[in-house]
Amino acid sequence: MKKRNGILAVIAALALVIGAAVLMAKNRKADVSNVSRIIGYSALYGDETINAAFDAVQKIFSEDFAGCTLLELRYDADVENKYADDTMRYWQEHGQELLIVESSFRTDESVAGSGFSPNHTYTGWQWQLVRSEDKTGWENIGWGY
């Protein structure tokens, strides 16, 4: 009987430890504290508009990319020209303004099993944003390569 109680106590302790680890991982946020914001010349947007788009990306990244560190956000003429056909097509199909931001980020070992490679730096990661309904900010509609 004592052996059985000991085994049950060990199992209960393990369940508590695993449960606490899962809860801590869920509440963990990504690191956006030292992101480099690169804003170059744009024929379409001023710095304030681009920074508002960057703010939207940082918020999403912080909440949804636990185990990752955002390194850089970029919007300049190169990015603008690279996605010009996509943004034009989106306007024609949806009647909404689309802005695509590029970023780079690094993962840590905790992302194993999440779809990201642990300890890897992703570059050229795209964020597709549309104007919010009130036209004061940006809303994410997708990300990836």
Q: Residue 71 pLDDT more than 50?
A: yes
pLDDT confidence band for 5 (50 / 70 / 90): low
| Predicted structure pTM score | 0.79
- Do the Cβ atoms of 108 and 72 come closer than 8 Å? no
- Work out the pLDDT band at 134, boundaries 50, 70, 90: confident
| Beta bridge partner(s), residue 115 | none
Sorting pLDDT into bands at 50, 70 and 90, what band is 119?
very high
pLDDT in tens, 17-41: 343 344 344 457 899 999 999 999 9
Q: In what order do the strands lie in the sheet with 36-39?
A: 36-39, 68-75, 98-107, 121-131, 138-144
Query: Which has the minimum average pLDDT: 22-31, 65-74, 80-89, 128-137?
Result: 22-31
